[in-house]
Structure 1
Amino acid sequence: MSGEPSASRRERLTRERVLRAALAVADAEGLAALSMRRVAVELGVETMALYRYTESKDDLLDGLVETLFLEVEERLSDARRAIGAEQPEGAAVGLPELRDALHGIARELYRVAVEHPNVISLCASRPLTVPLARRPPAVLRVHERLLALFRAAGLDDDAALRIYRAFISWVLGYVVVDLRAVVDDPDEPDPAFRLGLHRLPARDFPTLRAYGPALAERGGEEQLIAGLDALLTALGPDTAA
């Protein structure tokens, strides 16, 4: 071996490369393992070389949120092109089309979350730590897409904001809860011990113990959509399925 770095490691650093490397580390090892030094090792560079592209660990975490939302936007754009559904800006949207569009956004958010379960909790927490105007454009585009859809569907401002808040809260909340860690010992073959139910006193938590095996299963996309439709129905007849 020549000892020279591989072609991929000789590739010029960019912010995108740094964030993709950070995402790979978090996916494989969890957020606890993520650090500037660990990302530098992943890229085969000195740690100080990263600070040109991400100034701190907090900036790195915000960058992961940006990367995930970019994935969501790319998937939504690809899906619309695949069915020839690109519409002129400001074109009217019927209520059935609005519902279908909301389903599509929810599903793509969920699918990205399933691919990056170690990171998705950041999407519910990190944006809340910075003012709206300082959030990454990739994060803002999803919100812009939603509000533009509501306007195109002819909803008044009160209805648009009501549904917007309900949609964001339900989808992000569902995703975080559905992908939470439940298994206590993945290597344990016995289901009860695998879930750690023996750690829950039967006298204090009988119902939680009974539901434990079911809680370990993901609800999946269909329960996500069922809950979303229930919300739309409850928010008013104009948005019902």
Structure 2
Amino acid sequence: MSTHALALDVYGTLVDPLEVKHKLQGLVGEQAEELAAVWRQKQLEYSFRRGLMDLYEDFSVCTAQALDYAQDHCGVSLAAEERQQLLEQYQELAPFPDVIPALETFAAQGYKKVAFSNGHPDQVRQLLSYGGVLAHLDGVISVHEVEVFKPAPRVYQYLLDQLGTPGDRTWLVSSNPFDVIGAKAAGLRAAWVKRAPGALFDPWGIEPDLVVADLKELAQRLGT
């Protein structure tokens, strides 16, 4: 086996952040899907901007500020209690159905498996415990200790340092193209989990080593 460490992104890869649209439907009706999408888009944008500006704040700050923007964008006003419920919903996202079976296969194949996230480590553990995923992982590695977000190069070096593995024996697994490109640029191997058939990969000339539809397919591909 040529690799032995898998670093799995959390939001969008292990759990679906757009799942909050179901909670939103009871609050904002037909605007739920748009609000959820804008919320996620701005959450990531704010992490990128904070990284460039050296104005690090916990990822939960990016999430809360992005929700406030999304409200304004969609022309809705949530009560303080409703807003807090939505933020708490981010800690209660269910894993995609392929996640736990794939993690069991990765374990049988001998891979070390960690969650690798922009989120605060305590919040990531809480989230993954809620969905029953944490017990199938060997640990959680967060950018919080580095105080900059993906795709900054030093977060991937921090990952390698924590794992104790070289880049060519470490896979970054993510549904987020920016994460895959960041990992490849830092010398890791990377698999893009193309969960949506219509998803596009950024045309930077930096390609993933593997493209898979879900984690079960990745386990099959890595096992061959």
Q: Same fold (TM over 0.5)?
A: no
* TM-score after normalising by structure 1: 0.33
- Determine which structure has the larger helix proportion and give its number: 1
* Larger CA Rg, structure 1 vs 2: 1
* TM-score after normalising by structure 2: 0.35
- Determine which structure has the larger strand proportion and give its number: 2
